[in-house]
Structure 1
Amino acid sequence: MKSTGRTWAPRMACAVTVSLALAACGGGSGGDGGSSDDGFTMMSLNENTTQDSVITSLSEDQCATQDEALPLDITEQAQESVDQQIQLLAGQGALPDLFPANTPDLIRELAENDQVANVQDVLADGDAADAIVPAAESAADQIFGDQLVLPVELNIEGIWFNKEILEANGIAVPQTWDELVAAFETLQAAGVQPITNAGSGGDGWGISRWIGAYLFRTIGPDAMRAIADGEASLTDPEYVEAAQAIAELGEAGYFGPAPNSIDYATAINTFLTGEAAFMYMGSWALADFNDPEANQIGEDAIGFLPFPEVEGGEGNSDQTPTNLGTSIVLSSAVAEEEQAQAWVECIASNYGSVALRDHGQITGLQLAEDVEVPPLTGLVQDQIEATDESVLWFEALFPASATTASQQNAGLVGSGQMSGEDFMSAVSAELG
């Protein structure tokens, strides 16, 4: 029987990092930028139509008063050139009020130059002071070191599984890493592909996500921060052990016959056609899960498993891998102008409900009204509400070269062609 949707009432309820030099930046917001001359200005990505749609809708309804006082003015930028444009405008003191957090390193550099507002400070004295959910706050603190974004996107990650395949093979939902590996072994023996995840080219993050998640369960939630801060090395034994644990899954064939030739779309399709039992994936996959044409196994067959705990590890399964997608940054000019702050407060109060209602998108903002959602979306909302501490992903704090090395080599780990030690050495070499 098909599951019914759920109504979500209002309640309080995480991106590839590239290091870019901030060219010609002066301190402060300065210049002719901000809302005083151009209305309430926003730069958005050509590729992200949801943000434009939601904020335009708000300007015509919930935020109409704010729009009358300070008219919304949206300009679009291609994602491939958005960082360069942000750098250019920053150097001219002309950043728009809102712009996309495309590259965390760049946003951190802007913050160091006092060109980015702290979102919590902007919201602190208004009705939207508690608008950001704890999971999003935790993720922002880890990515940026502060609340530097309005989290209009929020994704959690974990292991999705096919309930019917597990039941048919007498497998209970695994609660520990050892139980999960035992399930893989049982499925392999029964002729069922245990895992589907992409490993080709830039889609190799489908495999490297497993490595990062294992690290957070063994070493703990600060595993990758220690690497970024130079307090540990990827070639340290405990880090190599994590990569080797995933390499052993590859050697056993659990990712399928050739994961290094599988792209993202193929991995998703393999899971949704019932050809594999498990898949590590973020909640952005809900778009496919909730699409009856793409999802041939049916929503009732899909379950979610937080990455399980590893015996003796410092992390736990309550620490949820989270990312903030392409969230919104506020220029420092916003913190200086009352009308711009009123706009931000209105967005923070209403964006979450409109995005979920009209686009099925989960955000890091509380809901202002009841929203009917599909069951799997409700499941993700439950997990977000239960999350107080977020962890990141393997490449979250890497420079571009290390991210590339990780994603291009992870598929070889998943296919059993590269050892954990060789993988970690290859990535470590790009960290300097």
Structure 2
Amino acid sequence: MTITADIRPEPARTGARRQTMRRSLPSAVVALTLFLLLSLSGCATRSGGVAPTDVAPAGAVKPHEITWLLSRPADGAVIETMRALAKEYAAAHPGFKLNFITTPDRPSYIQKYETLAAAGKLPELFDTDATPFARKLARAGRMMDVAALLRSLDLYDKYRPAALDYQRFDDGSLYMIPFEYQAEYLFYNKALLRKAGFQVPKSLDDFPAMCRALRKAGVTPIALDGLDQWPLERYAALHPFRTAGPDYIRRLKLGEARLSNRAGREAADWLSELGKAGCFQKGFSSVGYADAQSLFTSGRAAVYNTGTWDLPSLATTALDAKIRDDVDFFTLPLTRNSVTASNEYVTPSGIGMAVNARTFDPLVRDFLKFALTRFPARYAAAGQLAPTIDARTVVPDNATPLYARAVAAADNIGKRIAMPWDTQLDPTTNTKFQQNLVLLVQGDMSPRSFVSTMDNVIRRNAPRYAR
């Protein structure tokens, strides 16, 4: 059976994480895609499964069709590279086919993914973040131990530690394969900062003053994709990472720390000050990804927080020549009491790929060995940052010097990662957090009320999250 259901893509979300403009799909489309998925995954299931650590099952490689359930842009570099590799593998293994079923809209994807998991109908390969739901699947023996798998393929030591660490569960176990590596920077317009008489901020605490200076100069300080909510939530994660380190969010989501702790209070106060200083464009909560990026690339906003996935738009001749030479970047500034280093910030490796233990067989292993061995070099050749240390990014011919500098900085990061909070908090808490965060920055909720409300929400949901 061959059924391929591609729902056309939106801009990719990273983090947490490539950028995805949130757009709800009609329920009929979701239902139809679920029907196709259930039919296809039923055809693909042909084995009783193996133990998660049985990464080298005995038997001959017998070609058959397999499926990858994805939450990535259908025309993105990851899928295009894997599609080419699958075609090469199929040429040498008649009868093999890799079906791609992609739903870049993350909420719709999660609905499909969790529905199929509950029905025991997940395909051979499927995308997931290191969420509590995924952890339950792993504990139930339904996902292959990726650390063991990569070691058996002699690939584990080739991966960037940061790329693997981003995919790990809190206990350090690894059940997802990274296909990307990204670094998030604050891109800025040098000319607009000069116009405001302000230098690159040395501390996060300098942001409100920077925003006021830019506003006084008639410039929008920071372009923000507020419609998708997670970009604003990224700002909420930055201050606590500097003042309390990466363990803060891990403890917070389990109810072992509180937002009323010093790090949480200071973060809420900082976010409130960003709002009071007019840091983001007016009506930011209704501005989407494309419009936010355009605000920066047209020279109307001074700062834009995004990742290396946006280098083709920000560091090539595709950028308007009028501002091309004025675009630069700085990494996450410290705070006066920072406990993390200047080269430690948000370095995601995107949503990971899990391998279904119920359908794992010699063919799936053999294909993964073929694809994962070749993928990094092919991906890097497209100007992307590969998840392994042995694949050097090929800077495009039309790149500005900024492109190579951004790639070089991504190769020199520290050990601690600032995890996006939208992949850490449980869904109920995260939804409430995002809603109240907008109110906090808009001035419709006080920092004290925000902290108190969210502590209560986490306290109600943390016990279920921790199970």
TM-score range, shorter chain: 0.7 to 0.9
Distance, in Å, in 1 between the alignment partners of 2:232 and 2:119 is 41
For residues 49-83 of structure 1, what are the alpha-carbon distances to aligned partners after superposition, in whole Å with 9 as ceiling and x for unaligned? 4344222211344x568x52872331425465544
1:366-377 correspondence runs (5 A): 366-368=389-391, 371-373=394-396, 374=399, 375-377=401-403
- Identity across matched positions, percent: 25
Going from structure 1 to structure 2, the CA distance change for 1:400 and 1:296 (only over 3 Å counts) comes to farther
Q: Determine helix, strand or coil for the equivalent of 1:322.
A: coil
Alignment of 1:371-390 (within 5 A): 371-373=394-396, 374=399, 375-387=401-413, 388-390=415-417
Q: CA deviation at 1:114?
A: 1.1
Question: How far did 1:232 drift?
Answer: 0.7
8 Å contact kept, 1:355–1:361? yes
Matched, 1:347 2:371: yes
CA change 1:171–1:420 in 2 (3 A) is: same
Q: Pick from 182, 200, 204: which aligns with 1:177? A: 204
Superposition map of 1:265-284 within 5 A: 265-284=290-309
Q: Is the 8 A contact 1:114 1:332 kept in 2?
A: yes
Equivalent residue number for residue 71 of structure 1: 96
Counterpart residue identity of residue 387, structure 2: G
**Residue type matched to 1:212 in 2?**
A
Distance in 2 (alpha carbons) for counterparts of 1:181 and 1:89:
46
| 2:311 paired residue number | 286
What SS does the aligned partner of 2:135 have? helix
Q: Say whether residues 1:331 and 2:331 are aligned partners.
A: no
1:241 counterpart residue number: 266
Helix, strand or coil at the partner of 1:311: coil
What is the match of residue 394 of structure 1?
421
CA contact (8 A) 1:101 1:149 kept: yes
Corresponding residue SS for 1:372 = coil
Return the structure number with greater relative CO, CA threshold 8 A, min gap 6. 1
C-alpha distance in 2 between matches for 1:149 and 1:133? 14
Equivalent-residue separation in structure 2 for 1:46 and 1:69 (angstroms)? 27
User: CA distance change for structure 1 residues 81 and 192 in 2, over 3 Å: closer, same or farther?
Assistant: closer
In structure 1, runs of 5+ residues without a counterpart are 1-13, 17-28
> Following the alignment from structure 1 to structure 2, what is the Cα–Cα distance between the partners of residues 355 and 95?
27
Alignment partner of 2:238 out of 213, 225, 239? 213
Contact 1:288–1:295 (CA under 8 A) maintained in structure 2: no
**Residue aligned with 2:325, SS:** helix
Equivalence map 1:153-192=2 (5 Å)? 153-192=180-219
Q: Check if 1:312 corresponds to 2:337.
A: yes
| 1:212 to partner: Cα distance | 1.0
User: Which one is further off, 70-79 or 251-260?
Assistant: 70-79
Change (3 A) 1:261 1:283: same
SS at match of 2:387: coil
Q: Distance in 2 between matches of 1:297 and 1:144?
A: 49
Q: CA RMSD in A?
A: 3.3
Q: For structure 2, which runs of at least 5 residues remain unmatched after alignment? A: 1-14, 18-44, 51-60, 461-467
Task: State the match for 1:54 in structure 2.
Answer: 81
Match in the other structure for 1:115: 142
The CA distance in 2 between the partners of 1:363 and 1:212, in whole Å, is 25
Cα separation, partners in 2 of 1:208 and 1:253, compared to 1, 3 Å: same
TM-score (norm 1): 0.80
One-letter identity of the residue aligned with 1:321: V
Distance 1:328 1:132, change over 3 A: same
